[in-house]
Amino acid sequence: MKEEELLHIINEGESNTIEFKSSFNSAVIETLAAFANTNGGKVIIGVSDKNEVSGITIKKETLQQWTNEIKQKTQPALIPECLQLTVYNKTVVVLSIDEYPIKPLSFKGRYYYRVNNANHQLSLNQISDLHLQSLQLSWDSYEFPKKKLKDLSMTKVRKFIDDINNTGRFVTDDTEINVLKKLSLIKNNNPTFASILLFAEIPERHHIRIGRFKSESVIIDDRQITDTLFEAAEESLKFIKNYIKLEYLFDGSIKRIERWEYPLEAIKESLLNAIIHRDYREPNDIQIKIFDDRITIYSPGKLYGNITIEQLRHNDYKSSLRNKLITEAFYLKGEVEKYGTGFIRIRKALEDYPEIDFSFKEDYNGMVVTFINKTAHKTAHKAAHKAAHKATKELIIDLLKENPHYTKEDLMRELNKADGTIKQHLTNLKKEGVLKRVGGRKTGYWKVIK
């Protein structure tokens, strides 16, 4: 590396693969471990976090001492490439590390990964996920403890085989057990997590809670779906369709056109994403809420692999599958298309629905997608505002019935409302003939007329 190249890196600043340190310390080793668990990177020692070259003083044996300390405090042992350079007549050391092939590795018993220009400690589930990714395995390919082939419903397996034969993505006339083996859904003659979730005679406790809500606290209809995954997806979609409007349009031809209140393909794709990509080690349920003006779908488990929310927004990501066998089964059945195209398909379906806003975020240790009907949202907002306005008026009347001597300030304190709000309500109530002020401001009182 030449001086010009190093200066360019310093001017660019810290990033997912670059960090500056004024001196060598434990934070340097933590960052090297985080780089190794992510995409590799360089720690440049002798540069401040303000991108200023401060330089360092080193002796003949310094670099070897640093290397030994890094080896001793990381497991498996990291051995960085050390490069000593001179910039502006000051000594700078660049410690470079490649992405480690078998992850994760630890620093003093803790595991870190790199996000933007900061290190983050991995949770137990993230440690497990990172290890499976590095081995190109997935959680659902492991044997389900204490489960046997007899725990699978061959009726469900046969229906699956018929379905995949119809799609043409996998054509076979083999037996149920042999098909499961070919698709790696059976391992060592035992069912995997995937096969139990897909075909169990008695489904495991991985529920979908779905409900129709008038508000966050008012539930009109609520259901807990406990079937295996294909059936759970079908039942959930039926429930959603029961509570969203369907209109029929005519374009001049004989055939009428169906138009759902929300783009059904986008809703279905989001539902399948929630089922296929959820973290089944998490105890929480998938939660679907249908309101007057929106639908939200929550799935336990944050984004898997190195995919970020920003990449999803710009369709700039490479598919990373938490549950490879479950995804493959839904693909063969024709329920999902090419891997990694889910959000692209959702956006495509939304093109004919300009009145629908679509958003997604990581929240509550999972993913939340939201469809908002802007027209219905405005109506609901107005209705809520009107209801709140009416409730405040009624509370003022009730309070003045109990204590006619309440002042405007007393009402502001009791109702936690601003001066202008209380003043406007009192003025309106007097105009409506509901309230009358008797006497002066200090000695008078309020009389409720009706």
pLDDT score for 314: 81
Query: Locate tokens 């304190």: which residue?
Result: 413
Averaged over successive runs of 10 residues, the pLDDT of the chain (450 residues) comes to: 84 92 95 94 92 91 94 92 91 94 90 92 86 80 93 96 90 91 93 96 88 90 94 96 89 78 95 94 93 95 84 78 91 82 88 94 93 84 77 90 89 89 90 88 82
pLDDT score for 17: 94
Task: Provide the residue type at 408 as one letter.
Answer: K
Query: Locate tokens 């009907």: which residue?
Result: 373
pLDDT score for 311: 84
Task: List, in order of start, the domains of the chain with CATH numbers.
Answer: 3-122 (3.30.950.30), 140-199 (no CATH), 208-373 (3.30.565.60), 377-448 (1.10.10.10)
- What does the alpha-carbon distance between residue 192 and residue 190 come to, in Å, rounded to a whole number? 7
- What does the alpha-carbon distance between residue 83 and residue 285 come to, in Å, rounded to a whole number? 51
Q: Does an H or E element contain 409, and which?
A: helix 408-415
Query: Locate tokens 């996920």: which residue?
Result: 129
Q: Does an H or E element contain 102, and which?
A: none
pLDDT score for 338: 65
- What does the alpha-carbon distance between residue 66 and residue 89 come to, in Å, rounded to a whole number? 22
Please answer whether residues 371 and 295 qualify as being in contact, where contact means their C-beta atoms are separated by less than 8 angstroms. yes
Please answer whether residues 350 and 263 qualify as being in contact, where contact means their C-beta atoms are separated by less than 8 angstroms. yes
- What does the alpha-carbon distance between residue 344 and residue 204 come to, in Å, rounded to a whole number? 32
Cα–Cα nearest to 408, from 398, 397, 419: 419
DSSP 143: B
- What does the alpha-carbon distance between residue 408 and residue 104 come to, in Å, rounded to a whole number? 63
- What does the alpha-carbon distance between residue 234 and residue 240 come to, in Å, rounded to a whole number? 10
Bridge partners of residue 152, in order along the sequence: 200
Please answer whether residues 299 and 278 qualify as being in contact, where contact means their C-beta atoms are separated by less than 8 angstroms. yes
Query: Locate tokens 């590396």: which residue?
Result: 1
Structural tokens at position 400: 């003045």
pLDDT score for 176: 95
DSSP 282: S
- Under DSSP, is residue 186 helix (H, G, I), strand (E, B) or coil? strand
- Residues, the chain, total? 450
Structural tokens at position 156: 């469900």
